[in-house]
Structure formats: structure tokens, C-alpha cells
Structure 1
Amino acid sequence: MKTHQHWLPVAVLAGLLASGCGGGGHNAPPFIIGGTAPPPVGTPPPATAAPLACDDTLKANFKPDANTSVVAVRSFKKGDPLLLSGSATSTTAMAANDVCMVKLNVGPGNAGPDGAPSTSPGIGIEIWLPSKTAWNSRVHALGGGGWQGGPAGSATAIASTAAADVAGKEGAVSSTTDTGHASLAGGSFAMNPDGTINQTLWTDFASRGIHEQAVKTKALATAYYGTAPKYSYWDGGSTGGRQGLNLAQNNPTDFDGIIANYPAINWSRFITGELYPQIVFQRDLGGVAPTKAQQDLVSNAAIAACDVVGGQHLGYVLDPASCAYDPTTDPTVLCPSDGGTNGTSACVTNAQATAINKVWYGMTGDGSVPAPATDNGWSEASSAVLLGSGIHRWYGQARGTSLYGAFFSVFGLNGLTSPNGAFPIASDQVALELQNPTIADPTFVNATGNGQSLWKQLSYAQLSNAYDRGVALQPQFGNINTDNPDLSAFKNRGGKMMTWHGLADELIMPQGSVNYYHSVVGKMGGLSNVQSFYRLYLVPGAGHGDPNGTSNPGAEIPFFTPTQFYDALTAWVEKGTPPDALTLQALSSTATKTRPICVYPKKIAYTSGNVDSATSYTCS
């Protein structure tokens, strides 16, 4: 997520390796449908007591409840380096305008031995407030990535310069949270020192942390400015997208508008499925993954087979649901020893081509894969029935996607098919499902034994069992899957929500978002009712927050301008203007290329004319 909702920042990318991804707080009552209705969206806020100052007096004067304490307060002037300790360098971010930073801790946390990843003093929240003359009366809170964690509650380090930018440039109050754990040791925080599941921190991570972030951000804004925010927005992708849906499901009065992009819903299901490609390589290819060059060769062949529009190659696949490319029957990618015509070092064997077909299809309980012409892995997406009860457990990456995640590999992160090993969140999650830390890689730390990469020994049946365990353990995991389709309370309070998901997402399969949307439609009385408050967009070629998720680095893919999606949401909430098809544009092209994205379930349809112009397409 760059510019808040569209790109994944480097800090979040690092968090995917080092740190990841309902309900009210421990001392807060759950939301009850009925009773006193919340005020309509945009109701003029009530007056409050005298505003607070951005200095140490705030520590004594801001006491929203017994569990909350102020950790640090710091005023930054325009141009100041955004640092709490140390010296500025050439890469240090600067304050865009005068802002006030406040850090909170919300207990009770989780007691335990010093240094244990599962030991926490509480939920850390970092809040950024624009100057009192610059505030636009909005809260614009940001979600996180991966396991999240980090220094939101630290008095010596800043967690989010993105939130500082929202306050300084946009004029909205912004915030972020560590979701209850500052540890950056991956999923280690979620396991107690005795190897059992840490239910307290799972709940803080899954739901309580973001609810406390919402409540305390609005409370501090009210106390600081002397008047309550008029509008409150949530803005997140990946884990932040899951968080947005969790807020709509479990705390529907927290936000007036929610952006929930490429959301990490169905957490245990899709993340267990993220380990499947590596299990395929272990079981079928002797533990040797195809090289990046081999993976790119096959993925680019899929693009070439499925990207033709108006007689021209786009360089990316417009509709992967209709692409059934099969490398096992393509001599141009197969090695001569396997009946092919490709004599380069990037050629693939039939076994490797079959393995890639398995990755595209997605996790099965026995390692089987149907012929792509019969089922390309998308047939169950547009159904209200959740995948996973049969042999097909979860979806795979779309054909044409960079399987190993070229965008992420630049930052030293393993994608799903990386020759360097497993995506770390996936191996951590499976270790937690099986309650065996040795399954994970050595970065997983626990007193009963650190990770030993024993995931490499798992059979297809054992990974399938871990999948089932993840579903069965949802109560202990804080209901992290966030897959409840009942959004009626959020709709009834006047909330609006928007989601976009890239069709070349390297990490979270877009079919999961499609499937969830269908389940909401099935639960809530049909498409028209749902689209009155919740709209989904599928973006061809886009990756996990990055404009180009494909294996073709030269693809020029129309994408969002920096605040385009957020502006559409605020117009819907504040002006009653429902978003329709949005026009995207290629950001790196010498000649501007535009393309519409449609409100799902409409699809982009080429009519005639220039294939690089949005006017040549309709939504139908």
C-alpha cells in the first residue's frame, strides 16, 4: 500500500517476513443489533471539554479508560525529521506539516517471561493529529500487513510515517496499531512458551487491537480538538483489508467508510494453501523448485496464450477465469527430452509443468490436479459455498502471475514458489495449526523448540489435515478467518465499503474475495441490496498492492492514481455518490494507457477501437 491503500510499503513488506495479518475489547460489550441506533453518518458532532495540548500534559489529561495509558507525546514542525531517537539520514522521512504524535498502550496485554514473543504489555496504538487549524474533521485510520506487530507502542521508534503523511498532507487524524504484540518474530507471538495456542494475543491480533485503535483514535481526536470527528474511515490492504472486513462484521459503528483491499480473509485456509506450492516441489520434484527463469517462461507463455484483445497482445491477462493454458501440452516450453522444442536452460520437464499446473489450480488433499481445460481453478469462486470441504482445499495463483513474487523478491522476501524456500507466514501458520514450532523455519521462536523447517517433510494428507485443524481452531485463533457474510449491522448504520483485488495477486488469491462476495450476496438478499453499500472491483494484471503482479516486467498495466479509490469512498459516504466503473491509467507508459475496472460481477468487455483506451471497453 503506497499512498495508504494502493501499494504495499517497504515497511510492510519487511513485516511480511519479520512480523503479518472481531469483536470488541476485553472490557467492551459486543455490538448488539437493535436497541439505540447509532447516529446517521455525518451527524454534526457534539461539543466537548477544553481541547488538549500536544505536550506532556496530555499524558495526565487523556484517560479514556482504566486500561489506557499515554506512552509518549511528541510535536513535529513542518520539515522536522520523523524520529524519536537517533540521528536523521538522507532517507529519513520529514514531517509534511505540523503534526502531533501520541502513543498509547491499551492493556491488559499478556503476562509471561521476559523476552518471550508471547509476552505483551498491551495493544500499542500510534496516533497522528494535524494542527488544529488544518484538521478536516476526518479520521483516516490505516491497517497493517502480515502479522503486523512493530513499534506502535514504543516510546523510542515511529511505526508509521504513512500515518504521519495522512495527518500532514491530507489533514485527517490517522493511526496504526501493533495489534497487541511488538514482536517481529513472525507468528511466534501466537504460541505460548509451553507450545499451546496464545488465545489472548490471537484475539488482540484478530479483532481487539483494531477496535481499540478505532475507539481510542476517535476519543483522542475529540479530546484534542474539542469536537468529535464528523467522518471516520478505515483504509487497508492485505491484513489491513481483513481488518476492514472484521470491523464491518463485528464493530460496525467504528467507521463510516471502509476500504478493504486484497483482504487476508479466510486466513487459515488461504495461508495454509500458500505452503502448498512448496509441498508440491518437495513431494513431486525432490525438493528442487523450478528456477525463476523456468517459472517466468511458463507464466509468460500463459500470458501470451490468454492476453489477446482486439487482435493484439496486452502483455497481461484481462480475465484469468477464462484462461486454461496447459504447459504440459505446450512444446515451446517443454524440454526436448520431454518431447518439446525449447532448448534453453529455462525449459521445463513434464513433471515441472505438471507441478506448475498444481500451483495454478491450488491446494488439493492428495496432490491431484484436473486437466486445465476441465477446471482451471476458478470454477468454484463464483459460488456462495466455501471451498475446502472436498479434495480441492483452496485456490491457486492465476495464470500469468509472477509465481515467486518478483516484486517481493527485490526486498529479499520469499514468494509462494521461491526456490529459496517457503513464504514464512505460511510455514508459521501451519506450525501453529499443528501446535508444533519445529514445523516452521528457524525464525519461529518458542521455548519448547525453535523452527526446524520440518514443513519440508509434510505429505499432501498432512498439509490437508493442518488445513482442517486451522478451521477447527478458529475459536482459539480469535476467529481470524473473518468470513462471516452477515454485514447487515454495518449496512443498517449507513456504512459504505469498497474492495479491489488484483487478478495477478502473488500472495492472496482473488478467488477468495470473489467467493466471499458471493456469500454476502447470498446472505443479504441479493446483489442490488449488497451493492447499495459494498462494492468489489477486480483489477487485471495488478498484484498484491503493486501495479504489476505478472511475470512480464514490461507489462504496462493501468492502475489507480494515488488517492483515487479513497476519494471514491469519501464521495459515496459524504455526498451519496455511489462509485461505478473507475478509469485506471498506466503510470509508466510513454503513451498513456487507460482501462476501466467494473463493479463486480460485471466484467470488462472490448467493443472496438484502440485496445489501450478505456473508451474501447464497456462493463457488462
Structure 2
Amino acid sequence: MYSYFNGYSDGGREGVMEAIRYPGDFDGILAGAPAMLFQFQNSLHHGWLAMSNIDGPMPELPAMMRGPPPGPEGRPGHGPPQDGPPGRSPLGHVHPGGGHTAIVTAYKLPLLHATVLRACDAQDGPVDGLLSEPRLCNFDPSELLCSEEFAEEGQDHQCLTEVQVNTIRMFYNGPVDPVTGRHLTVGQPQFGSELAWEGVFVPRGQNQPVLNAHIALAALRYLIFEPNPPETYSLNDLRFTVATIEQLHPRHRLLDATNPDLAAFKAAGGKLILRHGWSDEHISPRTTIAYHEALEKVMGGAEQVAEFERLYLFPGVQHCGRGEGMTAFGLVSPLLEWVEQGSAPHAILTSTEQDLPPWIQVAPVVTRSRPVFPYPSLAKYTGYGDANDPANFVEGAPLYNEKTADWAGQRFFDPYVPLM
């Protein structure tokens, strides 16, 4: 008899934690978009995105948003309800003076997303409305900067104000220590993920709270620090500095699932499949890539790791499987075949039927299908035939070969003894 684990988001973290702590529990583990770097994810990552998109101090959240977070799946669509009078959130919270409002609202996201795709879509092959390798993209939101005649307060045009441009740069770049210049997170939202930001850290209305603020505040008050801060702690107290990283370390061994020493899991015959969508709005896929790289560093290289682990990255797929990408795919059967028959997974067929953006010159509704190969390989279009037919794709060499850049929390991916 065989045993398997399949989890996504925090469930993905739990799956990797099983491989680390209890290597004999499961023969096969499927961990999707794992929230494995819990300490950073729920403090500096969510906190940065929430604080970057407000034009003043963060007001106190409504009471119903101050408790422990329900998890990113616990919201209808994206974010809270959208109806409410000016200066008042739909949850009944009045921002001081009706102010301290969001800088970027969801109205601008389709414009931003379309411009990103125009700039970067062709870098990875066919122009298909998806970024298969977002790390190649060097888009600068200043391309959408309003001209002076459209920059007046209150004007609403298909462009961005200077403040909005700078805010969007902050989304993509992430927090940096003001003294050392070192990045404080391993990865931020990727180019191509813009449509997923609505309700998470970009509200529909200027006076609405966002989910990231809720997640970060609850985690910072009740989970992240040792000891917990006072009940009066707010996101305005969060400092984006290397010193804060030191405060994350005491509970790292308890809450994170980033130990790359899976020797016991491998010895027990365990198999691990990691998956992540490139357009994940909650957990940066670069976190999962960093863990995969740490596995290779600690476990003897790519060939040794390939004996028990695979990483698949899905273009255009958001958190929990929605998005513009090909979201229909199966990884459970390949995992079973790997465990029970010794047949390691390779190409995974993905498909979807979806309305494509208007700038993609195809029929308005089309069934798309394409293989996804184990990281770092990419599906390469042969140049012949229908680009929506998987038969016209082969396994291609990586287009991006840089390892994860040095960042201030790199040691959180070093081997450690978990705190049980």
C-alpha cells in the first residue's frame, strides 16, 4: 500500500514539511505553490505590497479583518465586496478624513498587463498572451507615464501618474534595505501576473482594504515574532530592514519548510513534485525556484535531485490554478507512476478553453494545449503549425540561466534542524 499527499499554498508548505520532518510518512508528495518561506511571505512580502500601495499611514483594519487570516483561498473572487460610499470601505471602516487611499486601483491593471505583454510576450517564442519565462522581461512602467496634459489630479486616462509608476515599480522590485541595498525578499510578483493583483494588494476602489494587509497584520501580531508584539502593533510598525530579518529567525525552524536536506526522504524512496504558476499573486514562484536550487546545492547536484524531485512552472497560472494560462493539467497520475512503477514524469500536458486578449489575432474562443517540461527546460515552438497544438512543441533549452541573486535572507534556505 502506498500513501500520498497533495496540497496547495499552505497545504504545499505542509507537504514539504512532511518530507523534511517525517520522511517516511508519504511515498509521494505533490506540493503546489508552497508557502514554504512562511516567515517572509507573511511579513515582509505581504506587508510590502500592502504598504506600497497607500498614500499615507495604514489605517486600522476593520475588526473582521484583524483576526487570523482565512488563507488566500478564503475570498470570493479577488478581495472584499466593492460597494460602499466615498471615504468608507465596504466593511464599514472610515479612513481618516476619507483619505490615505490606494495609489493604484484595479482599473489600471488591464492596461498594465496588456503593455507588459506587448513588451515581453515575444521573448519566449510565439505571441500567445503568456510569459513562459517572465525573468527575461525588463519592462519599465514609465512607458505608461501620462503626458503633462493628462497628469492633472482627477483625470482618468489610459496612462499612469508618476506616483503610480513608482508604486508599480515597488511591486515588481520588492523591499530593499536602505543601508546595505540588499533585497529583503527572494521574489515578488512576476511580470505577466498583473490581472491577479485585484483585491490582493490592488483594491477595486481607493478606500477599500486589501487582503495582503489582513494576512500580514494577523501573522505579524500572532505568529511571526518571538515574543508576539503588543496588540497595538500595526503595519506602520513594520520596518523593511535587515534588522527585521533577524527578528524572523527565532521561529524560522518552527514555521518555515525550507530545509533542503531531504536525504532521509530520498533514502525512504520518496518522490516530490513541486508546481507553481508564474502568475501567482500571493506567493512568488521565485521562492519555489530558490528552494529547488537549494536542493541541488545540498543534495549533490541536478542529477541527484532528479532522482526524487521535479519542479514544474506553469505560464499564466495564478494562485490555486486560475488565470489566463492553461490551467487544466494532471500531476497526481504522473506521481503515482513515478512511485509505483519507477517511471519518472517528464512532459505534462496542459490545456484550457479561454477567451484570449483582443491583441492576439485568433478566434475569440480557442482550446489551447501545450506541454510543460521539468524546470529549467521550456516548451519550444517548432515554428510550424498551430501554436495551440501541443504536437508543435518540443523540449527547449532554458532561456534564463541565472541562479537566484544574493538576498538578505539567503541563509533561510540552509539546512537546519526543525523545531518540532
Q: Which among 200, 216, 230 is matched to residue 426 of structure 1?
A: 216
2:41 corresponds to which residue? 270
User: For the Cα contact (< 8 Å) 2:123–2:136, is it kept in 1?
Assistant: no
**Secondary structure, counterpart of 2:275 in structure 1:** strand
1:490 corresponds to which residue? 265
1:304 corresponds to which residue? 118
User: For the Cα contact (< 8 Å) 1:403–1:417, is it kept in 2?
Assistant: no
Q: Which among 260, 272, 281 is matched to residue 506 of structure 1?
A: 281
Count of residue correspondences: 335
Cα pair distance change 1:436/1:533, threshold 3 Å: closer
CA displacement 1:236-277 (0-9 Å, x = unmatched): 011111111111111010001100111011111122212102
**Secondary structure, counterpart of 2:273 in structure 1:** strand
Give the Å deviation of 1:523.
0.5
Give the Å deviation of 1:403.
6.2
User: For the Cα contact (< 8 Å) 1:430–1:466, is it kept in 2?
Assistant: no
User: For the Cα contact (< 8 Å) 2:326–2:350, is it kept in 1?
Assistant: yes
Structure with the greater alpha carbon radius of gyration: 1
Q: Which amino acid aligns with 1:269?
A: F
User: For the Cα contact (< 8 Å) 2:296–2:305, is it kept in 1?
Assistant: yes
CA distance in 2, matches of 1:587, 1:426: 35
**Secondary structure, counterpart of 1:305 in structure 2:** helix
Could you say what the CA RMSD is over the residues aligned between the two structures, in angstroms? 2.9
Q: Which amino acid aligns with 2:194?
A: S
User: For the Cα contact (< 8 Å) 1:309–1:611, is it kept in 2?
Assistant: no
Q: Which among 256, 279, 301 is matched to residue 526 of structure 1?
A: 301
User: For the Cα contact (< 8 Å) 2:32–2:275, is it kept in 1?
Assistant: yes
**Secondary structure, counterpart of 1:473 in structure 2:** helix
Cα pair distance change 1:454/1:337, threshold 3 Å: farther
CA distance in 1, matches of 2:217, 2:40: 13
1:618 corresponds to which residue? 394
CA displacement 1:549-601 (0-9 Å, x = unmatched): xxxxxx4x22234xx21011111111111100111111446432111111112
CA distance in 2, matches of 1:425, 1:436: 19
CA distance in 1, matches of 2:274, 2:327: 14
Cα pair distance change 1:314/1:495, threshold 3 Å: same
1:566 corresponds to which residue? 332
1:398 aligns with 2:190: yes
1:542 corresponds to which residue? 317
1:472 corresponds to which residue? 250
CA distance in 2, matches of 1:536, 1:231: 22
Cα pair distance change 1:254/1:436, threshold 3 Å: closer
**Secondary structure, counterpart of 1:545 in structure 2:** helix
CA distance in 1, matches of 2:4, 2:211: 35
Give the Å deviation of 1:392.
4.0
Higher relative contact order (CA 8 A, sep 6+): 2
Give the Å deviation of 1:287.
5.1
TM-score by structure 2 length?
0.72
Give the Å deviation of 1:339.
8.4
CA distance in 2, matches of 1:401, 1:368: 29
Give the Å deviation of 1:425.
1.9
**Secondary structure, counterpart of 2:194 in structure 1:** coil
Give the Å deviation of 1:313.
3.1
CA distance in 1, matches of 2:243, 2:301: 35
Give the Å deviation of 1:310.
8.9
Cα pair distance change 1:291/1:458, threshold 3 Å: same
Cα pair distance change 1:232/1:275, threshold 3 Å: same
1:253 corresponds to which residue? 24
Give the Å deviation of 1:484.
0.5
CA distance in 2, matches of 1:352, 1:367: 25
Q: Which among 306, 330, 353 is matched to residue 165 of structure 2?
A: 353
Q: Which amino acid aligns with 1:535?
A: R
Q: Which amino acid aligns with 1:470?
A: L
Q: Which among 140, 163, 174 is matched to residue 362 of structure 1?
A: 174
CA distance in 2, matches of 1:294, 1:258: 39
Give the Å deviation of 1:346.
4.8
**What's the % identity of the aligned pairs?**
25
CA distance in 2, matches of 1:352, 1:284: 14
**Secondary structure, counterpart of 1:585 in structure 2:** strand
1:416 corresponds to which residue? 201
1:327 aligns with 2:327: no
User: For the Cα contact (< 8 Å) 1:292–1:404, is it kept in 2?
Assistant: no
CA distance in 1, matches of 2:180, 2:141: 16
CA distance in 2, matches of 1:345, 1:275: 29
CA distance in 1, matches of 2:284, 2:149: 31
Q: Which amino acid aligns with 2:113?
A: S
CA displacement 1:512-533 (0-9 Å, x = unmatched): 0001000001111111111111
Q: Which runs of 5+ in 2 are unaligned?
A: 58-99, 356-364, 398-420
